[in-house]
A and B are shown apart, each in its own frame.
Chain A
Amino acid sequence: MKKSHIIGLLVIAAAIAIIITTAGDASSYVSFDEAYKMATVGNKGSIHVVGELKKDPAGNISGLENSPDNLSFSFLLVDDNKKEQKVYYNEPMPPDFTRSEKVVVIGSYRGNIFVADKILLKCPSKYQEQKLNAKV
């Protein structure tokens, strides 16, 4: 066997290994129900859930609780299936949290609480704004 063949085989093997590990480590976007099911069957992996903050009919955010020392907080997130879930985040509330339109939480269930390791906020971007904040 020529050396180049051995290298060729190694290359293919390495490529396959990378594809498999990537597939294994890829997360997924799920609903809270699916995430809960995953947690009950012992799947501890982190998953993404996309949702919106719970709002009362007047449009105010409800269920937002800061810890007494302001160092962590919890909130209610409503996923695409309208399931409401309490999410805990062990960081101070991001300053623009309440302004966000959509929240992506990355984390997993611990008991009945979803613990987020990371939060991505989708804030209303100025580009999508079709209104001027016009001061005539």
Chain B
Amino acid sequence: MFHYFIGNLGHLFVITTFVTAVIASFCYWKATVTTDLTARQNWIKNGRTGFLVHSVALLGICVALFIIIYNHYFEYHYAYAHSSIHLPIHYIVSCFWNGQEGSFLLWMFWQAALGIVLMFTQRTWEGPVMTIFSLVQAFLASMILGVVIPGLSINLGSSPFILLRDALADPIFKIQPDFIPADGSGLNPLLQNYWMVIHPPTLFLGFALTLVPFSFCMAGLWQKKYSEWIKPALPWTLLGGGILGLGILMGGIWAYETLSFGGYWNWDPVENAVYVPWLILIASLHTMITYKNSKSALAFSMILVIGVFILILYSTFLTRSGILGDASVHSFTDLGLSGQLLVYLLFFTVAAIVLLVMRWKEIPSTDKEISTYSREFWIFLGATTLCFMGFQVLLPTSIPVYNKLLEIVGVSSNAAPPANQIEFYSRFQLWFAVVVALLSGTGQFFWWKTRDKTKLKQELISSLLITLVFFVIIILVGEVRNPVYMALVLAGVYIITSNVKVLISVWKVNPKLSGGAIAHISIGLMLIGIMFSSGYSKVVSLNNTGLLLNKEMGTEFNRDNLLLFVNETRTMGGYDIEFLGERVEPRNKTGYVKRGDIEPTNDPFKVVATRDILFKGERLYNAKDTFEIYPENTFYEIQLRKGEKIAATLFPRIQLNPSMGGILPSPDIKRGVVSDLYTHVSSSMNRESEPEWGNMEEVKVKIGQQFFVNDYVSVLEQVERITTLPGIVLTDDDVAVRAKIRIEGEHDTYYAEPVFLIRNRSEVGRIGFEIGELGVKITLLNIHPDTNEFSLGLNGRQKDWVIIKAMEKPYINLLWIGTGLLMVGFGVAMMRRFNEKV
């Protein structure tokens, strides 16, 4: 049955949000330009009503879309494309923003929430600020409008409420227009991770927060309140800096835990697209603080604040228009919104620049030369360096855009982004980071305006000495030999030392002022953490199997991957490492289940236990229990030992989701105080094709007699007549006999139970028994009643294997500690600015 109502309601809400946003913007604009006080009050009232109705309708869209996903209404494309029946509840939430439409919704949702807060807290700024807010909301709402403009046949926006039959041109809809698929195609396995539940909302809140300073800045220019806008905008900028930074880092942690490229940052265009605005945002908040303190750098602040917002729009355009194409490992889909996104980008770029140019002459500036001994001077240099840092990333990231532009002019260009992104960007960004750290470390000495020069010298020298001591200790303990990395460590230690000094002196005065110092200390920690974890990331799975290397290529290649056969111990990175077999994950219990301990049923999500299932000594299931699993996921149990002691048991994962077109490996990480051991599967056995069995070996054994199969000690324990056989109906004339053979594996005892069958007194059937983990197949070939012997057919094959890659990430915890501390710093600074009176 089609649930038309909810979709139509949702679409009605979509149209309402667009219309009300336009209305609210118009009313607020009228309120701003009207001089008559009563009229202004009325327009404000109308604007408020418009924006509130807009927000309610927006909430309505979210609820409607959630109902569709939650109830699995697969007649809707959004539910079909992004969810499935078996998806756990908490991931249903991530389905919501899995699609582009949903992520636009999330963005609008945050902006509406911020808009409402500003509406009730910023009475003097309400008119102009909300004009801009509503206008931005209108542009975003147009992205999900899903309306065809009559006459022009232009599709405006892509609605999340589109029916599957309208979205896909599948022939089945011609035959059966009311066809509803039984299940959806599911959520991309990579996104089935808890970080993906919280990372997108955080990032989009960060995006939304950049609109606040932008709106205040525009309002200031428009209303000729050139300096007053800084005060209300500053705390929001700080909040934005913290949230956007947190969102970016959450993405990094997600990548570290889920993707298998071996790190947390890949300099992929998608990452760059948010990294650049964040850098400029940080620059802008520094110049805004400078302005508050010394009335300098006002115009610079305006340019930066506008720049941040434009860059957010630009990054939206880059990542959603499909223009990145081959340049990114993330595959983006073109929803046909490129034109609309471009209009959105150009509208605000042009409007902001025109307004800025018109008012440029009137913006107050100081003619006073800034003193080298002032904090402002160093902040200014730091902000400029941050801009360069962003520029250096933005330039190559935009290469696909240049190609496109040249194509429009008629020139064919084949430029590609630098081949080794990580190496290319790191080489530059590292030095920028050094400069920024040195500048901000030095700037701290000019804390209370210009200081007495002799005292300054003393402080500087003592700081430098402390820095040197810690620098030498770190270099020696961490065995840093690379001069470039040394520079980074030095800069990191310097920024920490000088800010700890500031922190101590500020704390005595007023702890509420300590936000900046805390944030800078954490930057130093993060720099050192990044240097170690990335610069000294070491492949520990170097090949030591002694197997033949590729003859053609000679031996010039280091082999970074390790081939592990099941139950065979190898050495790696100071550990004994052993692959213990494939595991599956039960849906309702924590733990892992051996693949050999379960039997499949007709439902891929349900299996039957063939024996009692224990995990870490705890009984998960009894034999014959039926339970649910996640069939997409296979885990590879890998044990690391130091001597006899088990150091860690890792379960790197492979997810199979054919409808998503992917086989996706995710790492497992052994976390340590000093370093992480990061392991992922690079290749595994293909389970789809039949394995190649060796030639059958025939043995004749009696009950209780020992024999060898694939080098495992085995015993024929018993042979019994059976009356039932799963899947086969036995008549009274049939004879079925089952043998029970015990096989001693390395860690476990296995039983093989082949069956010998005589049907209708003449037809002989044999059902062999396979033990996948040992690579063994046993068939009961014949029974010799005269000698009490049984003929067994033994087949062996290559044992199960897996190829892994393992890396050591030293001192990565410094990065995470730094991240946490950075948030504390931003929080403290933000509270101070929110509570500030002047």
Which of B172, B185, B417 has the most CB atoms of chain A within a 10 A radius of its CB?
A: B417
The answer, yes or no, to whether A45 is at the interface (CB within 8 Å) is yes
Q: Are B550 and A67 in contact (CB under 8 A)?
A: yes
The answer, yes or no, to whether A4 is at the interface (CB within 8 Å) is yes
**If A95-B665, A113-B552 touch, does A71 touch B561 (CB 8 Å cutoff)?**
yes
Bound-complex Cα distance A72 to B803 (A)? 11
A136 shortest CB reach to chain B, Å: 7
Bound-complex Cα distance A51 to B329 (A)? 16
Bound-complex Cα distance A3 to B384 (A)? 15
Contacts of B179 in A (CB 8 A): 134, 136
Bound-complex Cα distance A56 to B332 (A)? 30
Which of B164, B329, B661 has the most CB atoms of chain A within a 10 A radius of its CB?
A: B661
Q: Are A126 and B660 in contact (CB under 8 A)?
A: yes
Task: Give the residue of B424, B547, B560 whose beta carbon is less than 8 angstroms from that of A25.
Answer: B424
The answer, yes or no, to whether A120 is at the interface (CB within 8 Å) is yes
Bound-complex Cα distance A69 to B802 (A)? 11
**If A68-B547, A132-B181 touch, does A50 touch B326 (CB 8 Å cutoff)?**
yes
Bound-complex Cα distance A3 to B559 (A)? 54
Bound-complex Cα distance A117 to B560 (A)? 13
**If A99-B661, A124-B661, A131-B170 touch, does A2 touch B369 (CB 8 Å cutoff)?**
yes
Q: Are A96 and B416 in contact (CB under 8 A)?
A: no
Bound-complex Cα distance A93 to B665 (A)? 12
- Point out residues on A near B: beta carbons under 8 Å: 2-4, 7, 11, 14-15, 18-19, 21-22, 25-30, 45-48, 50, 67-72, 74, 88, 90-93, 95-96, 99, 104, 106-107, 113, 115, 117-118, 120, 122-136
Q: Are B326 and A18 in contact (CB under 8 A)?
A: no
Per-residue CB contact flags for chain B residues 416-446 toward chain A (1 = under 8 Å, else 0) read 1111100010001000000000000000000
Contacts of B183 in A (CB 8 A): 135
Contacts of A96 in B (CB 8 A): 661-664
Q: Are B419 and A48 in contact (CB under 8 A)?
A: yes
Q: Are A134 and B170 in contact (CB under 8 A)?
A: yes
Q: Are A126 and B659 in contact (CB under 8 A)?
A: yes
Q: Are A106 and B370 in contact (CB under 8 A)?
A: no
Contacts of B557 in A (CB 8 A): 72, 90
Q: Are A3 and B370 in contact (CB under 8 A)?
A: yes
**If A3-B369, A69-B548, A125-B333 touch, does A25 touch B418 (CB 8 Å cutoff)?**
yes
Q: Please give me the residue from chain A that is nearest to B183 by CB atom.
A: A135
Q: Are A88 and B654 in contact (CB under 8 A)?
A: no
Task: Give the residue of B172, B326, B391 whose beta carbon is less than 8 angstroms from that of A122.
Answer: B326
Q: Are B418 and A26 in contact (CB under 8 A)?
A: yes
Bound-complex Cα distance A28 to B396 (A)? 12
Contacts of B548 in A (CB 8 A): 68-69
**If A48-B416, A113-B552 touch, does A69 touch B661 (CB 8 Å cutoff)?**
no
Which of chain B's residues 223-282 have a Cβ closer than 8 Å to chain A? Answer: none
A83 shortest CB reach to chain B, Å: 16
Which of B333, B370, B396, B419 has the most CB atoms of chain A within a 10 A radius of its CB?
A: B419
The 8 A-B pairs at the shortest CB distance, nearest first, are namely: A46-B419, A92-B683, A95-B663, A27-B416, A92-B682, A27-B419, A69-B547, A127-B333
Q: Are A95 and B683 in contact (CB under 8 A)?
A: yes
Bound-complex Cα distance A128 to B661 (A)? 11
Which of chain B's residues 388-418 have a Cβ closer than 8 Å to chain A? Answer: 388, 391-392, 395-396, 399, 414-418
B554 shortest CB reach to chain A, Å: 10
A107 shortest CB reach to chain B, Å: 8
Task: Give the residue of B391, B559, B659 whose beta carbon is less than 8 angstroms from that of A71.
Answer: B559
The answer, yes or no, to whether B477 is at the interface (CB within 8 Å) is no
The answer, yes or no, to whether B553 is at the interface (CB within 8 Å) is yes
A9 shortest CB reach to chain B, Å: 13
Contacts of A7 in B (CB 8 A): 381, 384
Q: Please give me the residue from chain A that is nearest to B662 by CB atom.
A: A96
Q: Are B170 and A130 in contact (CB under 8 A)?
A: yes
Contacts of A130 in B (CB 8 A): 168-170
The answer, yes or no, to whether B103 is at the interface (CB within 8 Å) is no
The answer, yes or no, to whether B633 is at the interface (CB within 8 Å) is no
The answer, yes or no, to whether B543 is at the interface (CB within 8 Å) is yes
Q: Are B395 and A122 in contact (CB under 8 A)?
A: no
Bound-complex Cα distance A28 to B549 (A)? 32
Contacts of A72 in B (CB 8 A): 550, 553, 557, 559
Q: Are A123 and B661 in contact (CB under 8 A)?
A: yes
- Point out residues on B near A: beta carbons under 8 Å: 81, 164, 168-170, 172, 179, 181-183, 185, 326, 329, 331, 333, 369-370, 372, 381, 384, 388, 391-392, 395-396, 399, 414-420, 424, 428, 543, 545, 547-550, 552-553, 557, 559-561, 563, 654, 659-665, 682-684, 801, 803
**If A91-B560, A99-B661 touch, does A126 touch B416 (CB 8 Å cutoff)?**
no
Task: Give the residue of A4, A28, A125 whose beta carbon is less than 8 angstroms from that of B414.
Answer: A28
Q: Are B659 and A133 in contact (CB under 8 A)?
A: yes
Contacts of A4 in B (CB 8 A): 369-370
Q: Please give me the residue from chain B that is nearest to A127 by CB atom.
A: B333
Bound-complex Cα distance A25 to B661 (A)? 33
A123 shortest CB reach to chain B, Å: 4
Q: Please give me the residue from chain B that is nearest to A104 by CB atom.
A: B326
Contacts of B185 in A (CB 8 A): 126, 133
Q: Are B654 and A95 in contact (CB under 8 A)?
A: yes
Contacts of A113 in B (CB 8 A): 552-553
Q: Are A45 and B419 in contact (CB under 8 A)?
A: yes
Which of A27, A46, A90 has the most CB atoms of chain B within a 10 A radius of its CB?
A: A27
A51 shortest CB reach to chain B, Å: 12
**If A25-B424, A132-B168 touch, does A91 touch B682 (CB 8 Å cutoff)?**
yes
B607 shortest CB reach to chain A, Å: 20
Q: Please give me the residue from chain B that is nearest to A128 by CB atom.
A: B333
Q: Are B419 and A71 in contact (CB under 8 A)?
A: no
Bound-complex Cα distance A126 to B83 (A)? 13
A19 shortest CB reach to chain B, Å: 7
Contacts of B419 in A (CB 8 A): 27, 45-48, 106-107, 117-118
A98 shortest CB reach to chain B, Å: 10
Q: Are B553 and A69 in contact (CB under 8 A)?
A: no
B425 shortest CB reach to chain A, Å: 10
Q: Please give me the residue from chain A that is nearest to B385 by CB atom.
A: A14
**If A26-B418, A91-B560, A95-B683 touch, does A120 touch B553 (CB 8 Å cutoff)?**
no
A115 shortest CB reach to chain B, Å: 8
Q: Are B395 and A18 in contact (CB under 8 A)?
A: yes
A128 shortest CB reach to chain B, Å: 8
B50 shortest CB reach to chain A, Å: 35
Q: Are A127 and B81 in contact (CB under 8 A)?
A: yes
Bound-complex Cα distance A18 to B388 (A)? 9
Contacts of A2 in B (CB 8 A): 369
Q: Are B333 and A71 in contact (CB under 8 A)?
A: no
Q: Are B331 and A122 in contact (CB under 8 A)?
A: yes
Q: Are A71 and B543 in contact (CB under 8 A)?
A: yes
Contacts of B370 in A (CB 8 A): 3-4
Which of A7, A92, A128 has the most CB atoms of chain B within a 10 A radius of its CB?
A: A92
**If A92-B683, A95-B683, A126-B185 touch, does A71 touch B803 (CB 8 Å cutoff)?**
yes
Q: Are A132 and B172 in contact (CB under 8 A)?
A: yes
Contacts of A28 in B (CB 8 A): 414-416
Q: Are A93 and B683 in contact (CB under 8 A)?
A: yes
Contacts of A67 in B (CB 8 A): 549-550
Q: Please give me the residue from chain B that is nearest to A72 by CB atom.
A: B550
Q: Please give me the residue from chain A that is nearest to B328 by CB atom.
A: A120
Q: Are A15 and B417 in contact (CB under 8 A)?
A: no
7 interchain pairs (CB within 8 A)?
A: A3-B372, A7-B381, A26-B417, A74-B552, A95-B664, A127-B81, A135-B182
Contacts of B659 in A (CB 8 A): 126, 133
Contacts of A18 in B (CB 8 A): 388, 391-392, 395, 428
Q: Please give me the residue from chain A that is nearest to B413 by CB atom.
A: A28
Bound-complex Cα distance A104 to B663 (A)? 18
Q: Please give me the residue from chain A that is nearest to B559 by CB atom.
A: A71
Contacts of A15 in B (CB 8 A): 388, 391
**If A71-B803, A126-B659 touch, does A25 touch B369 (CB 8 Å cutoff)?**
no
Q: Please give me the residue from chain B that is nearest to A110 by CB atom.
A: B553
Q: Are B395 and A22 in contact (CB under 8 A)?
A: yes
B385 shortest CB reach to chain A, Å: 9
